[in-house]
Structure 1
């Protein structure tokens, strides 16, 4: 067995468990954060800081309502989560899929099968900009958190 720290973990169950260390640590951190958001309701004032953009300009950023959305999801209320921030719900789903791909690749000792190019990043930016624009128009009031 090669014990050089610069190489990948050995094959087998022990190696797979060691390769899963970082993805499992990230999962634990996210679970702890979600447990906190589930326990401390963002709908109650004084628990979380206000969005600076909303506070100073009155405009909703693409993240406004994200904590309320996460709180609703942790309580199994999908309609409330979508009402608080539909883009955040979609983002939570995408992050869950990316984590599963990462963990599966790590368990097999392979690189993550995710390649994002400029077009993908520009596409995400365009969706967020459009969402922000529409939710701040009078006709987009249904997108307000």
Structure 2
């Protein structure tokens, strides 16, 4: 008994979205773990190495607490812990959705996440955020 071209196409479609669905599953599991294991309680997660060595906040400091707050449907608290991480979430969801749709349609995956100018601009934003959140007037950005 041979499979039809239609069955083969359906199986190929399912196989093509396994990678995006796998990323979603791992991300969902990590999000659920951070939502259930409170990063505000000492001893659950290691200290940020940059914070430990320098006493300064890195761009990622507060992200675990922000995700914990988000998992508990508290976006304002999450925004207070790490506004840059919260602002990045919609872009990550967009790129994941685009990847999933392209995979489902059988179109080739894009070789770049975004145009280089956007990636350089984001890197510059991260560096400015990193510096400003450690200055006295930027304490509002500190976790």
**Normalising by the residue count of structure 1, what TM-score does the alignment of the two structures yield?**
0.87
Of 52, 70, 77, the residue aligned with 1:80 is 77
Indicate yes or no: 2:115 matched with 1:117.
Answer: yes
Distance 2:109 2:91 in 1: 15
What is the correspondence of 1:13-92 to structure 2 with a 5 Å cutoff? Answer: 13-92=10-89
User: Which residue in 2 is equivalent to 1:5?
Assistant: none
* Partner SS for 1:45: coil
Distance 1:115 1:22 in 2: 16
User: Which residue in 1 is equivalent to 2:127?
Assistant: 129
Report how far residue 97 of structure 1 moved: 1.1
Q: Contact 1:101 / 1:112 at 8 angstroms: preserved in 2?
A: no
Distance 1:22 1:115 in 2: 16
> What 5-or-longer segments of structure 1 have no aligned partner?
2-9
Distance 2:129 2:28 in 1: 27
Q: Contact 2:95 / 2:113 at 8 angstroms: preserved in 1?
A: no
What is the correspondence of 1:83-102 to structure 2 with a 5 Å cutoff? Answer: 83-102=80-99
Report how far residue 37 of structure 1 moved: 0.3
Q: Figure out how many residues of one structure are paired with residues of the other and give that number.
A: 137
Q: Contact 1:60 / 1:135 at 8 angstroms: preserved in 2?
A: yes
Report how far residue 115 of structure 1 moved: 5.1
* Partner SS for 2:61: coil
Distance 1:72 1:90 in 2: 15
Distance 2:57 2:18 in 1: 38
Give the 4+ runs in structure 1 shifted more than 4 A: none
* Partner SS for 1:111: coil
Distance 1:129 1:56 in 2: 18
